[in-house]
Amino acid sequence: HYFQKISLKDRLDGELEEHELQLLPSGWQIIGDIIIVNIPEKIWDKKYLIAASLLDMYPNCKTVMQDHGIKGQYRTPDREIIVGSCTETVHKENGCLFKMDATKVMFSKGNMAERTLMSAYGDDETVVDMFAGIGYFTIPIATHANPEKIVSIEMNPMAYEYLLKNIKLNHAENIVEPRNGDCMDVTPEGIADRVIMGYVGTTHKYLKPAINAVKSEGGVLHYHETVPEDLIYKRPFERIENAARGSGRYAEILELRKIKKYSPGVWHVVVDAAIKD
């Protein structure tokens, strides 16, 4: 007795032309009770049929949204509702609750392994989460480790609002100290055992405050960068080492993880580095 899920293509067989069936998306993201999909322009006129089939496949979902990508320093998604009305949802992952408005803040499926990995760190530590968003790393650490304190910095007021909600929702008020501001200005100094830099774009510009956040006994940096394939094992290492030297310290590269392809020929990587005096 086994149950095989009927595919989107099979569901729409007979309702769409063969060439339209070929254009159907093969994947989508589910955040809480919202399905986020990218329907190609050529079959956009079939969006209601496609959305209805997706809702049939996932009876717990209530909304279907078209994804037009993620933009700007705040990493704001550009999404439009096809079916449904509620854009706020609570996503469950790894024993954590993430409340968010899917039209206002992002939640990356590709970063799941990294969120889970971070949740294994933090016991008895002071952690500084420099680009905290809605609590992507803060909440898993607060939930699964036993940190002394997490300082979580986020400058987008919309993401910050959900960071506060998620701290409450996950009962982490006593552990997390949220700060609404630019981490160039509000990152604490000399207190961290661990610093997370979970932002891509111009992350290297924030290496100085990140390294200065590490306490004099030393600590670990988790540095995210989007880097062209041929520079993966060079540029992020050099940037960290130079920044450490600039702050009169020393960096030992511990590990590099490839998170996902960011764009053609460009990878999102994370480098773990020990910062020492």
- Pairwise CA distance, residues 76 & 156, whole Å: 9
CB of 190 to ligand SAM, least distance (A): 19
Please check whether residue 131 is in contact with residue 183, taking contact to mean a CB–CB distance below 8 angstroms. Answer: yes
CB of 24 to ligand SAM, least distance (A): 26
Give the DSSP per-residue string, 166-226. HHHHTT-TTTEEEEES-HHHH--SS-BSEEEE---SSGGGGHHHHHHHB-TT-EEEEEEEE
Rank residues 141 and 183 by Cβ distance to ligand SAM and give the closer one. Answer: 183
Rank residues 16 and 161 by Cβ distance to ligand SAM and give the closer one. Answer: 161
Rank residues 35 and 210 by Cβ distance to ligand SAM and give the closer one. Answer: 210
Q: Which residues of this chain interact with ligand SAM, rule CB under 6 A?
A: 73-75, 106-108, 111, 115, 131, 133, 136, 153-156, 159, 182-184, 198-199
For tokens 């024993």, the residue is: 95
Rank residues 257 and 276 by Cβ distance to ligand SAM and give the closer one. Answer: 257
Please check whether residue 176 is in contact with residue 167, taking contact to mean a CB–CB distance below 8 angstroms. Answer: yes
CB of 247 to ligand SAM, least distance (A): 18
CB of 182 to ligand SAM, least distance (A): 4
> What six digits make up the tokens of 54?
């997706």
CB of 261 to ligand SAM, least distance (A): 16
For ligand SAM, which residue has the nearest CB? Answer: 131
Rank residues 53 and 156 by Cβ distance to ligand SAM and give the closer one. Answer: 156
- Pairwise CA distance, residues 257 & 13, whole Å: 41
Q: Where is 259: in which H helix or E strand?
A: strand 250-263
